[in-house]
Amino acid sequence: MNSYTTSIDFEPDAGRVDMGYHYSGSLGVELWMPNDVFQPWDFFTSVVTVSNPGPEPLHDVPLFVILDVFDELYFWPGFNRFDYLLLDTLEPGERSFEVIPLFRWPAGLNDTQGVYWHSAMTDPGITELSGIMDSWKFDWNQTDE
């Protein structure tokens, strides 16, 4: 936590780490879900947060969020074979995007393990990653384990 900060200017905390939300201060993305194993009627959502430590805005930044279901890839926001969100301007700070709106996980699905979200930003030409990428593995089943 000593490399994190609660300050929106991304200056690292000094001394004792205080309570509250801590910005990473690094260029990149972070995926979030309320859990990594889902059962019927659990709340499910998926969010990606992009971070630009600044000091300048970034322009024409492709943001990729990919659902990997056993090597079948679904690209957000259209969940088709290839798609991304173009961030015209990414100001310094953090910005979150709802990838999957909140819903209750359905009953009656086969137990499944090893589904992944992957996310990254790239340069405008989509030739190299910009900053830190993230992945999140999740599963679902019908009973408590």
Determine the average pLDDT of the residues in 96-122: 97
Residue located via tokens 């030409």:
125
Local confidence band at 8 (pLDDT 50, 70, 90 cut-offs): very low
- Contact residues for 57 (Cβ-Cβ < 8 A; gap 6+): 89, 90, 91, 92
Is pTM beyond 0.75? Reply is yes
Q: Which of these CATH numbers, 2.60.40.10, 3.40.50.10680, 3.40.920.10, 3.30.420.40, describes 28-140?
A: 2.60.40.10
User: How much is the average pLDDT of 43-61?
Assistant: 96
Distance CA 7, CA 78 (A): 34
Poorest-pLDDT segment among 12-21, 78-87, 102-111: 12-21
| Spatial CA neighbour of 98 closest among 62, 48, 34, 139 | 48
Q: In sequence order, what are the residues at sequence separation of 6 or more whose Cβ sits closer than 8 angstroms to the Cβ of residue 89?
A: 57, 58, 59
Work out the percent of the chain whose per-residue pLDDT is above 90: 80
